Structure 1
């Protein structure tokens, strides 16, 4: 295939967790589909995470973590400085039109290196609270892409350069968006999917089986559970379901999570950004239990939009008991139309064009003529456009 004349280079920088890398992979796929060349900067964990597109080369940079112990800050600063230098050497050869950060400490040296070379920078925030690295860089980047209309810890003076694009999700999950909600009748199977992130969550293993056992008999008799568990919890959870006579498929990891989600009537789990993005992209009602130790309590913030819309219910972990879980499920699934309405409410919160809109945004830098207007929320459309025009002006000045 011939490379289009408009083909350019972009660098994506993301910390080594699935929450940062999943949207980076989705953007990489969209940019590659448009004929661009893309490279990834991450850490050793990120380079090993499954799902990286084959066309995407990964460059591992040192990235210092700034914890609470000041004695370790010098080593962290040195790692950031070394990573910045390595990033600059990469940019000298790769010549990116823009560098896009997705949060996490590995994004910091990549963004600093780009700014020292006057390369446009964009950050994408997956959560409803601006993360540490994105907060640090918010005043220096050309644009801030958001996943939610309301984001905590975002200073008002930076709203002029924000764009509401959503959180890109995996193509296999997004393909389910146009499929109908699985039939749920008064006498049909009631399929429940339970996950707690890549390693499962012990609280879900301890509470969910007992909570499901307390459901109204009409619901309990129709249950079919799929649950992801930590390896050390697997046998105990299996025994609990057996004691309650509830059919359950358990595993530490499901390869075909998209297929599981397709058949799901109700999701129970954490409220990470990728989880919320996928639930709203597909339209699946949920009972969410935000991780209490999440930085800045961002998982609780992630639930606000979908809960307000009626697509989910949120239970704080300290209130997450078997009795409370049963109460909430009985309320959501007491009638088929109640659960279907919640599914539709969740679907309405989805932003299925997130990868495309984010690609439009990053293409607007570096002399691109492809897109002058990006799709943003009505409340910040003008502000985002002003921010992009400022970035384009800076790029034109460099070209001249």
Structure 2
């Protein structure tokens, strides 16, 4: 049976989709969200990743993970030979998977483990879409942009995306976990001039040493009236935990420390101010919920993409960005005071962050994926110049009652 025949047979019925993602949470969190949505719609989903990705927590129950070899291409060209060999081996394995699974489309979320599956899909004429979580198109997605049928983005402005590909671009946003998105309907936690100021500090799955070194001292430099109201939750690396605990104790600042918090969404619900990195999932969750932030982009991030991720939320007034080389205790204290000098300031910042959120990202991405190889390719939100805008292309706005509540 040819692929076209299979597509006609599947049109309007339960279909099969393959999701291909790199082995980090930033790639896999949106893939997991899309998998859950597609399965809820009656489709069958398979995941292609690497060994590390197959062990990432949060994979939906029943989602099969297929581990494919995927070469990495660093700065040393000598090592590219092994990488190329691994990519072609993974491509052959993906083609065998497609022959058995018969996917209607293959969706890539970036990272080298996604490359073999996407190359296999384009060679087998299987419809393809890539999703970019960051405000800079990643290396693998740049390589594939000219081959795929659609490009889903999380931001209106995406660097390294060539103008000639603009007609393929659909602004969907970056899917986040359901338990986090459920917080969007909750009001920003009440804050009075005498009440506790809850600060959440994280640096990604492994924490960030610079946050452990700077944040306790920065909080200690706040005016006494503000410092006495602090209640801190901070994620640290295991090797930094005791040193950070000693710092907070020396400053007499109450702090709960841990290397990992399973209930992070519950802690985010009570947070008045977030301090941390600017990864794609972090920004999506902050804007999805509406939480003010002080963001310190990872200095060595590829193409400085974490700094680019902050542009939208900073412009909206929802966050302050501090470059790591300028991230000192004094500068942090200064920026905290600017945001937290009164409850209204934090409330306005929360409102700015909230308005950057794209809560329908999972649904919109699923709509786009369903349209591949079936009905005509739909417009989610076209961002290409002079691109057509269909009924589904209207920019989604938040209920006026929520805006009024947060502005109050």
Normalised TM-score (structure 2) = 0.91
> Is residue 310 of structure 2 the alignment partner of residue 303 of structure 1?
yes
Which of 239, 246, 256 is residue 239 of structure 1 equivalent to? 246
- In 2: Cα distance, 1:126 partner to 1:194 partner: 22
Superposed CA deviations along residues 122-155 of structure 1, whole A, max 9, x for unmatched, are 0000000000000000000000000000000000
Instruction: Note if contact 1:162-1:384 (Cα within 8 Å) is conserved in structure 2.
Output: no
Which of 381, 392, 396 is residue 376 of structure 1 equivalent to? 381
Superposed CA deviations along residues 30-67 of structure 1, whole A, max 9, x for unmatched, are 10011000000000000000000012100000000011
Which of 328, 338, 359 is residue 352 of structure 1 equivalent to? 359
Would you identify which runs of 4 or more consecutive aligned residues in structure 1 move more than 3 Å?
Answer: 377-381
- In 1: Cα distance, 2:115 partner to 2:386 partner: 27
Which of 246, 253, 258 is residue 265 of structure 2 equivalent to? 258
Superposed CA deviations along residues 306-356 of structure 1, whole A, max 9, x for unmatched, are 000000000000000000000000111101000000000000000000000
- In 1: Cα distance, 2:306 partner to 2:388 partner: 27
Change in CA separation of 1:216 and 1:380 when aligned onto 2, cut-off 3 Å? farther
Which of 273, 278, 292 is residue 271 of structure 1 equivalent to? 278
Which of 130, 141, 145 is residue 137 of structure 2 equivalent to? 130
Change in CA separation of 1:348 and 1:379 when aligned onto 2, cut-off 3 Å? farther
Q: Secondary structure at the match of 1:106?
A: helix
Q: Secondary structure at the match of 2:28?
A: helix
Q: Secondary structure at the match of 1:382?
A: coil
> Is residue 89 of structure 2 the alignment partner of residue 82 of structure 1?
yes
Instruction: Note if contact 1:13-1:40 (Cα within 8 Å) is conserved in structure 2.
Output: yes
Match of 2:155 in 1: 148
- In 2: Cα distance, 1:260 partner to 1:380 partner: 41
Change in CA separation of 1:379 and 1:120 when aligned onto 2, cut-off 3 Å? closer
Match of 1:117 in 2: 124
Which of 318, 327, 330 is residue 320 of structure 1 equivalent to? 327
Match of 2:345 in 1: 338
Match of 1:213 in 2: 220
- In 1: Cα distance, 2:107 partner to 2:57 partner: 21
Which of 16, 32, 54 is residue 9 of structure 1 equivalent to? 16
- In 1: Cα distance, 2:129 partner to 2:209 partner: 36
Unaligned runs of 5+ in 2: 1-9, 394-408
Aligned pair count reads: 382
Which of 167, 171, 179 is residue 160 of structure 1 equivalent to? 167
Instruction: Note if contact 1:26-1:168 (Cα within 8 Å) is conserved in structure 2.
Output: yes
Instruction: Note if contact 2:274-2:294 (Cα within 8 Å) is conserved in structure 1.
Output: yes
Per-residue deviation, 1:381: 8.0
- In 2: Cα distance, 1:4 partner to 1:31 partner: 15
